[in-house]
Structure 1
């Protein structure tokens, strides 16, 4: 949680996850600089995965935090984007200036 609270946009991901790739691509196309933690490539990845699971995420990745607040996974992010709510959230968090 401390890692996510320090950035406007934080994504916990696994390098082999296709939905993680999709979410990272979405934010890249929106020209948002995200801090991405590939939990399968870190020494504390299993510990991070357990914390994300305790937050109620299933699957645990991708896990997206905007302004330090858990938004959710791919379904929640795409729902926000399609409803037009994602970009205002990113602006409010200081992650985007479009």
Structure 2
């Protein structure tokens, strides 16, 4: 759990993902298209990936990936991120976290 918290605070946007998951790819692409540069941790390629996945589950991440943190705070999975994007609040969160500038 401690490692997840440390990684989540390491950059304005942190995404925990799996390399073969299509929703993870879509969420990463969305952030890149918005001009952001997230830190991406692919837990299926990490030696302690199972521990990371377990910690994400304890935080309430269901499904466990993609799990998106903005400004060190857990925002949600693909459903929450896409919803925030559709309402325009995602862009506001990114500006507030200084992940993008406008």
Fold shared, TM-score > 0.5 on shorter chain: yes
Aligned mates of 2:73, 2:59 — CA distance in 1: 11
Answer yes or no: is 1:90 the counterpart of 2:94: yes
Aligned mates of 1:88, 1:56 — CA distance in 2: 24
C-alpha distance after superposition, 1:37-75 (max 9, x if no partner): 000001110000000000111110000000000001000
TM-score (norm 2): 0.94
Q: Structure 1: give runs of 5+ residues left out of the alignment.
A: none
TM-score (norm 1): 0.98
Q: SS at 2:92's partner residue?
A: helix
Superposed structure 1 runs of 4+ greater than 3 Å apart: none
CA RMSD of aligned residues (A): 0.6
Q: Structure 2: give runs of 5+ residues left out of the alignment.
A: none
How many residue pairs get matched? 98
Q: SS at 1:11's partner residue?
A: strand
